[in-house]
């Protein structure tokens, strides 16, 4: 029995989370859900975006499935997601991007994984005004941060049978910070002779991904580049609606779709649950439930390919839960 923290989220979050939960439960994996809140719902109920009860639940269970959250302007946190990453030192952001037959895209053979460092770089938030007319932000890159994210990328490549790791940087200009990242990437690559290694300057990497994404496999990079390139990769495969994500630390992991909470669509039961379900599939793999993860993923691919029971953004007319029920049926189950 896996005990998992479930954060339904804001906006469309509760609907797509319910869809993912139904699919997971139909897979046969034994899960005990501990439902807690964060974001706007938490602010209404507890007066804070991130209640202690929610943090304690994640601390106990070490695994969470989370819907998208809204961070209201002027409410303290820059981002609830950033706060969670810092609280549990979730240093690795894992974002796969792959094409699915039936999802509109200019490409047909993309299968990339972005491994983004999650705690350092300009996102450390060390910035201040210099007088009235200038602002300064400090880019922090440490040996520890570089070593653990690059090693994570190589270990992931070995475990998942991937062929190549590409380190993305701007060391030609930022010779100290990105230079350190590249130096450490090369050192660690030497420990994994079975995995091909190369590096690319970040601006060239963007062009390469648009022109010939099929040449790349696992991409590892500092925080800011990872934020940008992971969205670029999502654009290659049809958008954020099919973009899952995971934030992983030494002993804790939070799985969530990349897209936002889309509050104007809340309660309409029309949001695409694909990214949420794919995030749940990633969670199952993390938990060692490979067979169930494979069955859900295959059923999802077949439903999208057929195009009959998908949401409006995928060209269909199904509701969020109707798409989930179609996936459950494709798995050989009857929707409850």
**Is 227 one of the annotated active-site residues of the chain?**
yes
Average pLDDT of the chain? Answer: 95
Q: Structural domains in the chain?
A: 1-91+243-336 (3.40.718.10), 106-236 (3.40.718.10)
Length of the chain equals 336
Residue with tokens 């494979």: 294
Catalytic-labelled residue, pool 91, 100, 121, 170: 170
121 is an active site residue = no
CA distances from 70 to 9, 39, 123, 248, 261 (A): 8, 6, 19, 21, 6
Distance CA 96, CA 218 (A): 9
Interatomic CA distance for residues 234 and 118, integer angstroms: 18
Active-site residue flag, 216: no
> Considering 144, 203, 305, 312, which one is annotated as catalytic?
203
Give mean pLDDT, residues 132-159.
97
Q: Is the pLDDT of residue 268 over 60?
A: yes
pLDDT value for 313: 94
What is the pLDDT at residue 335?
63
Task: Give the pLDDT confidence score for residue 77 in this predicted structure.
Answer: 57
φ, ψ (nearest 5 deg) of residue 179? -60, -40
Averaged over 40-57, what is the pLDDT? 93
Secondary structure class of 130 (helix, strand, coil) = strand
Average pLDDT over residues 131-151: 97
Q: What is the pLDDT of residue 80?
A: 86
Closest CA to 87 of 220, 254, 306: 254
Burial 160-197 (b: 16+ CB within 10 A, else e): eebeebbbbbbbeebeebbbbbbebbeebbeebeebeb
Phi, psi (degrees; rounded to nearest 5) at 142: -115, 160
HSE toward the beta carbon, residue 262, CA cutoff 13 A: 20
Closest listed residue to residue 275, CA positions, set 304, 244, 319, 321: 244
pLDDT, tens digit, for every residue of 219-266?
A: 999 999 999 999 999 999 999 999 999 999 999 999 999 999 999 999
Task: Please tell me whether the overall predicted TM-score, pTM, comes out greater than 0.85 for this model.
Answer: yes
**For 54-61, what is the mean pLDDT?**
98
How far is it, in rounded angstroms, from Cα 146 to Cα 182? 9
Q: Active-site residue 305, yes or no? A: no
Catalytic residue among 10, 121, 199, 227: 227
Q: What is the DSSP letter of 30?
A: -
Burial class (CB in 10 A: 0-12, 13-18, 19+), 326: buried
In Å, what is the CA distance from 174 to each residue of 30, 151, 169, 255?
49, 22, 9, 32
**CA gap 30, 110 in Å, rounded:** 33
pLDDT digits over 85-133, tens only?
999 999 999 999 999 999 999 999 999 999 999 999 998 888 899 999 9
Catalytic residue from among 91, 123, 156, 216: 123
CA 166/CA 163 separation, integer angstroms: 10
**Torsion 201-203-205-208 (CA) sign:** negative
pLDDT of residue 136: 94
């Amino acid at each position: 029995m896996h005990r998992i923290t479930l954060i339904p989220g804001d906006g469309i979050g509760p609907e797509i989370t319910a869809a993912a939960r139904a699919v997971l439960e139909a897979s046969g994996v034994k899960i005990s859900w501990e439902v807690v809140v964060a974001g706007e719902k938490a602010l209404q109920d507890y007066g804070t975006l991130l209640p202690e009860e929610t943090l304690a639940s994640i601390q106990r269970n070490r695994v969470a499935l989370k819907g998208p959250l809204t961070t209201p302007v002027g409410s303290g946190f820059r981002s609830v997601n950033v706060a969670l990453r810092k609280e549990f030192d979730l240093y690795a952001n894992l974002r796969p991007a792959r094409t699915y037959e039936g999802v509109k895209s200019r490409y047909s053979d993309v299968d990339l994984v972005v491994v983004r460092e999650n705690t350092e770089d300009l996102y450390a938030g060390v910035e201040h005004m210099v007088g009235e007319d200038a602002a300064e932000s400090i880019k922090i890159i440490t040996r520890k941060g570089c070593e653990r994210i690059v090693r994570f990328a190589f270990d992931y490549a070995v475990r998942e049978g991937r062929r190549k790791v590409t380190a993305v940087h701007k060391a030609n200009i930022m010779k100290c910070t990105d230079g350190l990242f590249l130096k450490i990437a090369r050192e660690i690559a030497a420990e994994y002779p079975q995995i091909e290694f190369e590096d690319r300057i970040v601006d060239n990497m963007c062009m390469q991904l648009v022109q010939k994404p099929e040449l790349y496999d696992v991409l590892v990079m500092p925080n800011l580049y990872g934020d940008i390139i992971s969205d670029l990769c999502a654009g290659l495969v049809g958008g954020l609606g099919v973009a899952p994500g995971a934030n992983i630390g030494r002993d804790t992991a939070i799985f969530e779709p990349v897209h936002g909470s889309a509050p104007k669509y809340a309660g309409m039961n029309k949001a695409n649950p694909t990214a949420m379900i794919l995030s749940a599939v990633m969670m199952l793999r993390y938990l060692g439930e490979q067979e169930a993860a494979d069955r859900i993923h295959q059923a999802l691919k077949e439903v999208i390919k057929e195009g009959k029971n998908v949401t409006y953004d995928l060209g269909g007319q199904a509701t969020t839960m109707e798409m989930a029920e179609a996936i459950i049926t494709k798995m050989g189950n009857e929707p409850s």
